[in-house]
Structure 1
Amino acid sequence: MSVGFIMLCHTALDRAAQVARHWAERECPVVVHVDRRVPAVQFDKMKADLADLGNVRFLGRHACEWGTWGIVAASQEAATLMLRDFAQVKHVYLASGSCLPLRPVEELVAYLAERPRTDFIESVTTEDVGWTIGGLDVERFTLRFPFSWRKQRLFFDAYVWLQRQVGFRRKIPAGLSPHLGSQWWCLTRQTLSAILEHPERNQIDQYFRKVWIPDESYFQTLVRQVSTNIESRSLTLSKFDFQGKPHIFYDDHLQLLRRSDCFVARKIWPQADKLYGAFLSGDRSRLAAAEPNPGKIDRLFAKAVERRTKGRPGLYMQSRYPNENWENGRTAGPYSVFCGFSDVFENFEVWLSKASGTRVHGHLFAPDRVHFAGSEGCYNGSLSTSVAIRDYNPRGFLTNLIWNTRGERQCFQYGPDDNQKLNWFMALDGNAQISVISGAWAVPLFHSNRNFGEIRREAARMQKIEQEFLNILRDAHAKAHVRIWSLADFVENPMEPLQTIIDEIGPRQGRRLTEAPRLADLAGFGQFLQNLRNQGMQPTLMGDFPVHDDPKPSTSRRGRPYLVK
């Protein structure tokens, strides 16, 4: 038999024993190392379970703290024992206790027999590594790391900072060119023995004892000195997420693992009975011989990482609530906001619903209640008309509305009297289409039967609110699709802006408007604005309304909306 396995075990020793038996019964020697931190009772049980196998050996136990020298020391002793006791071994395969063979051992043996002098180990220079996590690349080799990153993080960070401050740099032993790579390798007897019998091993080992995560650099560096044929890849399927943590494979990954064509995979969930049952069975016909190709599933892992880091656009929930400006889209789809249209036109919501074929709401953020389309008391996703519930989290209310109605464009009215907490949110949302007739809020005041002093105060308040809203929409960072008309410009030629809006809502419909909604009566509106000026309130958002000649809609002059991005 040409391959022997070294197993570094930390947890789930029952599963590790199951895999070790699988290899040993197929005439592959196995050398097992169990972390010294594992209780002796579990270690003794594993030894007893494998006692009937003559080609299984157990080492003295090292404490294998992540990122420290113990893992390398265990690998060295295991390799030494393997080469000493099993002369027939030509390749040594390093695996963990959470590894699982994906293909029959005979296929691995045949594969290695065709490549008798090839070492399979990922080994790349620090400049070429893109997966290092923690901000330490070359510094892994030039600083000292006597403290555990996991258990002594405060001391670890402080010591790194101190060395950087004083300019401390360790000298790399002559002839060594630091390389990094996966710790799971498969080396030939000649290469492994050359590393273990290196004439300067004591000096090299002493140096690597203070290197950070030496199990990802010790063999990866030395193999470059002694090997004649290196394939810089691992035969073990091992995937890591964006934080540098290994992906765990579960039962529902069965078909995914089969498609990889890799010989071994880690990290397997100990309770994945389906995986262990399928891959450790005696069935040899389940897979055809193929070149290991983990790239087959890289696309799926990339999509999984993207889903985990970015999420679905506009989705906010308990298990994933993205930070501000880290969302993958503030809302789940396009929506339209109309400011002032329901003040200028009679029954505007009904007309827009017919003209665009969309669901048109009233003022969703009005102070009295949520005005859903059709005066509904409850909307998709059990959204309530309650003001208290809505105002507890206005952003959540809007994002839930858009999410719950995916595939159906939502339109609603908005004005100075509404809750203004969403101004910036909507302005920064690329899905928002915001159309504003500035100063239109004055039309209801004009028709109201209130004392003029009260009207003047209300007009001043609403103009201030709307001016702040317009300033936000004109901000350079705004991403919403914004169109703003003054009231005077809009009423001169309402058909053109209305047609523009309808085209943007439904660009595929290609409908030409044949009629516009009925305009509110503006006879005497110019005098009304003059009266506000006479009372000391300066209306600036309505445009130029003549005092005596009331505006009349016409088609001779086109309105000039302007786009703010």
Structure 2
Amino acid sequence: MSLGIIMLVHTALDQAEQVARHWTRAGCPVVIHVDASVSQGIYDRFVAAVANVPTILFSRRHRCDWGTWGLVAATQDAGELMLARFDQVRHVYLTSGSCLPLRPVEELIGYLAARPRTDFIESATTADVPWTVGGLDQERFTLRFPFSWRNQRYLFDKFVQWQRALGYSRSIPRGITPHMGSQWWCLTRQTLSSILHDPERQKYDRYFRHVWIPDESYFQTLARLYSTNIESRSLTLSKFDFQGKPHIFYDDHLQLLRRSDCFVARKIWPHAERLYSAFLTDPTSAMNRTEPNPGKIDRIFARAVDRRTRGRAGLYMHSRYPNYGWENGVTASKYSVFQGFAELFQDFDLWLARATGAQVHGHLFGPHRAEFTDGQTVINGALPDDANLRDANPQAFLTNLIWNTRGQRQCFQFGPGDNIKINWFLTRDPNAQISVITGAWAVPLFKSDADFALIRKEAAALQKIENRMLDDLRSADVKARIRIWTMAEFIEAPMEPLQVIIDEIGQTGTRRLSEAPRMEELAGFGQFLQNLKNQGMHPYLMGDFPVDPVPRNSGQPARKPYLVKK
């Protein structure tokens, strides 16, 4: 009998009984503390259930609210009872009712017997670890905390604020340096006895009684006074999330727990019957004799925390809707936005789809409907083309479209006649590739037969809108890949920018364009712009267009020079 077990129990007493019997079958005495919040009837039935095991004892009960002194008092009483009743115990292992032995108890006994003077207790100063969650590091040792953080949160916060405002600070007892660490330790009899029978114990108890979360600092601090050999680690596998809450292990974590090679794990779900039946088995077949190594599964927990805190790139749903700046990627994959191209070129969407293999939509944010490719009214993810539903949340519409079509590059047309509320969102998305031909919205007006007064009014409104859009695109906060050309400079040499755009989309192998999209007939466009100027509107976004430009493509081929012989 060289190992004694202390169990702090407050729920799932049936499982606690099963584990306690498992410890005693290997020759380990068990002292159980049952939370005072458990009703007397349930407690009495629990005591009666294990009455036939003489090495299972029960210590004086305390109320053990999270982060309060009761947990330390319960451990002290259980430790004193263990040392007083079982003289042959050389190590005392503190566990909870939700802890589960993962390896044969004989292996743990042998492991500790080979290290008779070693205390396994996580113990580090607040300056050396990033564990603390909640904004209280050194202050947990210099302020008073008479109120429960969980049950009296308002009083807790107000009392902390009041002490800070007054500049109040408690003095730390001379001779100790506060340390912190996991509550679940394994101490030698000598170290635990020295802590419990210290002549200064009353002074230390008075001090730690009003420390925040004393169960993670009392033994961790005092062990430094008496231990001759501390290994600052716990033999219990205990993982915590980013909020400081323990991970719970379920039945489907069986293989994960086996890989850890740890002796004990917490926190086990009370109904994980598969885990209890798998580990509370024949000691000769449970696990291999290896050094405990929780680091083997740290990568899995790190990924789980990352998934929980950051989520998947571009995924939004009712259970995960991050605040601005907390997204793990604004959208799920890269996409392309074309402004002015569909106005300048005929059937540009069909040409782009052939050239890239991408899924090319019309004006997704058009005024009447979302113009999905091939005239579809509903697309992946049951997204309808209804403009009212889309405009209720344009960002959600776009992020859902990109998420539900990930794996295929999405392209769509955009312009000042669309719902431009999405424009700012596009500019801050690193996945967006935005190509703009400014002033191209004037081409449909030029080709229309509407009254010129109405055309002038529409042109002035569209130019004003596009100018605001360009301000967004040129903002210092832009993260999208943006290219902007005036209409005049683009039509002078359209193949080069088109080639750059196609190469960047990169859906197909890099190759030179062999087919150019067919440009709208622009004869007389310069005069049209001049007419707008004559009516008092200044169309400056198109660039410089001469009133009578030289035709880009003459209907008749140029005559070849020839030599006449005499």
Q: Which interval holds the TM-score relative to the shorter structure?
A: over 0.9
| Aligned residue type for 2:91 | H
How far apart, in 2, do the equivalents of 1:289 and 1:186 lie? Answer: 19
The yes-or-no answer on 1:7 pairing with 2:7 is yes
1:358 maps to amino acid: A
- In structure 1, the residue matched to 2:562 is none
**1:563 counterpart residue number:** none
Which residue pairs with 1:285 in the alignment? Answer: 285
Task: List, as ranges, runs of 4+ consecutive aligned residues in structure 1 with deviation greater than 4 Å.
Answer: none
Name the structure 1 match of 2:363: 363
Unmatched tracts of structure 1, length 5 or more: 555-565
2:472 — aligned with what? 472
SS, match of residue 346 in structure 2: coil
Instruction: State how 1:186-225 maps to structure 2 within 5 Å.
Output: 186-225=186-225
Matched, 1:109 2:96: no
Please give the residue correspondences for 1:248-287 in structure 2 after superposition, counting only pairs within 5 Å: 248-282=248-282, 284-287=284-287
Query: Which SS does the other structure have where 2:290 is aligned?
Result: coil
- CA distance in 1 between counterparts of 2:443 and 2:7 reads 81
SS at match of 1:456: helix
Task: Check conservation: 1:491, 1:552, Cα contact below 8 A.
Answer: no
Residue aligning to 1:512: 512
The DSSP-based 3-state class of the residue aligned with 1:512 is: coil
Counterpart of 1:525? 525
Shift of the 551–128 alpha-carbon distance from structure 1 to 2, 3 Å rule, reads: farther
**1:557 aligned residue:** none
Note the 1:156-555 alignment, pairs <5 A: 156-282=156-282, 284-506=284-506, 509-550=509-550, 552=552
Query: 1:141 maps to what in 2?
Result: 141
Percentage of pairs with the same residue: 66
The offset of 1:25, in angstroms, is 2.0
Rounded to whole Å, the distance in 2 between the matches of 1:400 and 1:134 is: 35
For 1:12 and 1:261, locate their aligned partners in 2 and report how far apart those are by CA, in whole Å: 25
**Using a 3 Å threshold, how does the CA distance of structure 1 residues 488 and 55 change in structure 2: closer, same or farther?**
same
**What amino acid sits opposite 1:472 in the alignment?**
D
User: 1:377 Cα shift?
Assistant: 2.2
2:135 and 2:265 mapped to 1: Cα distance? 27
Q: Corresponding residue for 1:560?
A: none
Q: Displacement, 1:338? A: 0.4
Query: Residue 39 of structure 2 aligns to which amino acid in structure 1?
Result: P
CA RMSD of aligned residues (A): 1.2
Shift of 1:422: 0.6
Q: Is the 8 A contact 1:359 1:411 kept in 2?
A: yes
Indicate if the aligned counterparts of 2:356 and 2:507 stay in contact, CA closer than 8 A: no
Aligned-partner Cα distance in 2 for 1:291–1:364: 59
| Deviation string, structure 1 residues 35-92 (Cα, Å, up to 9, x no partner) | 1011112211111111100001011210001111110011011000000000110000
Q: Distance in 2 between matches of 1:338 and 1:283?
A: 68
- Aligned with 2:7: secondary structure? strand
Superposed displacement of residue 13, structure 1: 1.1
Q: What secondary structure does 2:193 align onto?
A: helix
User: CA offset at residue 552 of structure 1?
Assistant: 2.6
Alignment of 1:83-98 (within 5 A): 83-98=83-98
State whether residues 491 and 553 of structure 1, in contact with CA within 8 Å, keep that contact through their aligned partners in structure 2.
no
1-structure distance, mates of 2:164, 2:140: 12
SS at match of 1:416: coil
How many Å apart are 1:253 and its aligned residue? 0.4
Distance 2:165 2:191 in 1: 40
Equivalent residue letter for 2:3: V
Determine the C-alpha separation between the residues in 1 that align with 2:522 and 2:508: 35
Alignment partners' CA distance in 1, 2:94 and 2:286: 25
- Counterpart secondary structure, 1:472: helix
Deviation at 1:553, TM superposition (A): 7.3
Whole-angstrom CA distance in 1 between matches of 2:553 and 2:441: 19
Equivalent pairs, count: 554
C-alpha separation in 1, matches of 2:514 and 2:229: 78
SS in 2 for 1:145: coil
Instruction: Measure the CA separation in 2 of the matches of 1:43 and 1:261.
Output: 34
Q: CA offset at residue 282 of structure 1?
A: 2.1
- Check conservation: 1:93, 1:185, Cα contact below 8 A: yes
How far apart are 1:11 and its partner, in Å?
A: 1.1
Secondary structure of the 1:326 match is coil
Report how far residue 164 of structure 1 moved: 1.2
Name the amino acid aligned to 1:110: G
Instruction: Return the letter of the residue paired with 1:26.
Output: A
CA distance in structure 2 between the partners assigned to 1:126 and 1:36 by the alignment:
31
- The whole-number CA distance in structure 1 between the counterparts of 2:41 and 2:428 is 60
Q: Deviation per CA, 1:433-473: give whole Å up to 9, x if none.
A: 00000000000000000000000000011111111111101
TM-score, structure 1 length as denominator?
0.97
Q: Distance in 2 between matches of 1:187 and 1:35?
A: 23
Distance 1:271 1:295 in 2: 26
Tell me, in whole angstroms, the C-alpha distance in 1 between the residues paired with 2:308 and 2:43: 37
Number of the residue aligned with 1:129:
129
2:377 and 2:149 mapped to 1: Cα distance?
Answer: 56
Q: Residues 68-79 of structure 1: matches in 2 within 5 Å?
A: 68-79=68-79
Whether the aligned pair in 2 keeps the contact of 1:523 and 1:550 (CA below 8 Å) is no
